[in-house]
Each structure stands twice: as structure tokens, then as C-alpha cells.
Amino acid sequence: MSNIDNTLLLDLSRRLIQLVTFDPPGNELPAAQLVASVLSDFGIESELQSIGENRANVVARIKGNGNRPALIFSAHLDTISVIESEWSVPPFGAVVKDGRLYGRGSTDMKAALAAMVVAGIAMQQRKDELQGDLILAFSAAENSSCLGAKHLVESGALTGAGALLVSEPTSLDVFTAEKGALWIKATAKGEYGHNAFSADRTGDRGSAILRMAEFLCRVRDLEIQSAVHPMLGSPTVNVGLIEGGISWPLIAPECTASIDIRTIPGLTAEDVLGQFQAIAGPHVTLEVVDEKPPIDTPLDHPFVSLCVSSVTGERGVEPVVTGVSYYSDAAVIAPALDVPMVIIGPGEVGKSGSVDEYVEITKLEASAHIFADIALRYLA
């Protein structure tokens, strides 16, 4: 068993939570610098990859002897925003209470990031045993665009990898599949005019807003045609943002809606777009803004078996093996490198971005041991 420093683990988790790294706008650079500094203290060189103003990835490679493919540890530095008045504890106070660490990012996923850092340090101390490299790949901008993960792939920093371990929240169960996210922008066009002189208009009265409303009613009733995935279920649709119009008395010339579709394996972007176009009508156009494909690692893959064994060995009980509806940086990394993906994290499923977000400290400590064990089994 590797020597995991639980004091360092909790301290780094708290220091990361105390940094505000909302995406948007980002501001992940201080978190990346903190991680790089801690790695440097233990003789691990890292690189900060700029992806914009005050935004950066941090990536490091603990070298093995090259006889086996590398393993990627993946986590992200950013979080979603917070309404501080709704919290019963300071969201950036990193409060420890009743066996839990509270704060924005405690579940998703700064504590898990710290666990991967500490597990990486443990591997640095045993690097002479490693047949392959351990790549620490910690990204910016996961919550919106996965821009950091895209840069990691394009930079070549992940070359030679044979497997990907992601530490998104799983309550220490093992997730082998995740839904994709297809983002579509719908635009309705109207016929500009002033309400005072529109008595002769009928129906939608040329209003882009009313035309969009009619389209969204059809979206509400749309059942996307696809097979049901055994772990991920069916696709889901959400209209997350509507923008349109100029002012109260003016008939809206344009209205847009941002639509998020959670996709499953076997359902392509073309399939989904075609089903939306079939209900769009003459005044609405559709544009694919972003696509994050679903990921599905076969249950009989040796990397899955290895991860299940490591969790079982640490916790004394076999984990649930299933899938999850969120997407992760795996949506970018796994297809680009053609590697299997497994997600294991100490955070609680469903607590991401919640009020009074927390991680249980016992699960946090267990996760670091699990990550180190997986690295040893895969690389040594």
C-alpha cells in the first residue's frame, strides 16, 4: 500500500476550495499554480498551459521505464457559481464539520483533484517500480466548453496513454459510461414592427418570441427516438436559456433558445438534429454549438476489472458498476486517444453545485488510496 499523506490531502483540498474558480469566467490560474507548487515540493515538474486570461491547465508526467502505456489521472480546476446567501456555511471557508469538508467544489471536484495529486506524489516516491508513466492532467473550463481538455489533447501532453481515470463524483462507485451533451441553438426570425400599428396582424403576429414559444411547445412534446441504454437510460432535453426582443412595444425580430440534449451511445448528433429540424417549422433555424459524445467502456474491459478490484480492496465491499448522466473531460480525451475510461470519485453523486456542497473525509482519504492502488496495478 502506498504512503498517502492524509494531512496534506485535507490541507490541499481546503486551499483549493478557498480559491474562486467559477466557469465562466474561469480564473483557474491560481489553482493551477497551487497544484504546480505542491507537486514541485515533491520533485514533480509540471507545466502550466494557458488557455486564456488567468486560465490554465496544469499537467505533469511521472516517468516509468516505458515498458507499459501511461495512465491518465483527470480532474478539473473550475466549479460552477454559487449564491452565497443560500449557504449555511461560507462556500469558500472550507469548513470541516462532523466528518465532512464543506465548500464549493468539495464534491465537484477539488477534493478529488487533491486526492489525485497526493496519489501522484505517492507514485513519485515509488517511481522506480513504474513500467509506464502516470500523467496528471488537471484542466480548466470543464463545466462549460471542456476547452482545457481539448488543449491537453492538442498539445500532445497525453501521448502514450493506455487508460483514463476520472475523479468526478461517484460516491466511490465505479462508472464506466457517461451521457454526452449536444448543445443546439435555435433561432426564430420575426417581422419587426411597432405594436401600435399591428392591428392587421394575426396568429403569431410576426413575433419571433411567439414563434419560438410555439417551437418550444413542440420541443416539450418531442420524444427523441433512440434505443434505451442499459445504464444510461434515454436521452433528456432541457431548454436552458431564452433571449429575444428589443423592448416592450416592439415586435421581436429575433429570439434564440439554448437547448441541452443529453445523448446516449448509438445516438448521433445528426440523428438528434434531424428530429429537431422535423418540428422546427418555417421560421426557426438550428445550429449545433457544441458536441460532447457519450462514453461507454465495455464492462469486461481489463481496466474496469482492475478499478473494481481496487475499490473493493480498499472499502471491503464491491462497488456498484453503472453509468451517469453528467459529462466529463473524458468526452474529449477518451475518443481522441481511443482509451478506456473509468470514473471513480469521493464526491456524492447529485451534490455537484448544490447548496452546502460537501465531501465525506473518510471517502476523500479512501479515494487517494484507491487512485494510488489503481496506478500501481496498472503501471507497476
Q: Do residues 95 and 242 both lie within one domain? A: no
CATH number of the domain where residue 363 is located = 3.40.630.10
Q: Do residues 97 and 134 both lie within one domain? A: yes
* Series of mean pLDDT values for 10-residue runs along the chain (380 residues): 89 98 95 98 98 97 97 98 96 98 98 98 96 98 93 98 98 98 98 94 95 98 96 97 97 98 96 98 97 97 98 98 97 98 96 96 98 97
> Final residue of a domain: which of 292, 321, 341?
292
Cell of 148: 482545457
Q: Which residue, 258, 269, 187, 211, is CA-closest to 235?
A: 269
CA distance 92 to 103: 5
Query: Which of 33-50 are b and which e, b meaning 16 or more Cβ less than 10 Å from the residue's Cβ?
Result: ebbbebbeeeebebeebe
Q: Do residues 282 and 255 both lie within one domain? A: yes
The answer to whether residue 242 sits within a structural domain is yes
The answer to whether residue 1 sits within a structural domain is no
The range of the structural domain enclosing residue 240 comes to 180-292
Q: Do residues 29 and 144 both lie within one domain? A: yes
Q: Is the distance from CB of 350 to CB of 335 less than 8 angstroms?
A: no
Q: Do residues 167 and 299 both lie within one domain? A: yes
The answer to whether residue 36 sits within a structural domain is yes
How far are the Cα atoms of 34, 82, 363 from residue 18, in angstroms, in the given order? 11, 13, 20
Q: Do residues 168 and 184 both lie within one domain? A: no
The answer to whether residue 17 sits within a structural domain is yes
Q: Do residues 155 and 251 both lie within one domain? A: no
The answer to whether residue 235 sits within a structural domain is yes
pLDDT at 1: 55
CATH number of the domain where residue 198 is located = 3.30.70.360
Q: Do residues 288 and 326 both lie within one domain? A: no
Amino acid, single-letter form, for residue 99: G
How far are the Cα atoms of 61, 76, 145, 164, 327 from residue 291, in angstroms, in the given order? 29, 19, 9, 20, 11
pLDDT at 144: 84
> Final residue of a domain: which of 259, 292, 325?
292
The answer to whether residue 44 sits within a structural domain is yes
Q: Do residues 152 and 77 both lie within one domain? A: yes
pLDDT at 145: 86
> Final residue of a domain: which of 256, 274, 292?
292
The answer to whether residue 229 sits within a structural domain is yes
Q: Do residues 191 and 258 both lie within one domain? A: yes
Q: Do residues 252 and 189 both lie within one domain? A: yes
Q: Do residues 48 and 64 both lie within one domain? A: yes
The answer to whether residue 156 sits within a structural domain is yes
Number of domains the chain is built from: 2
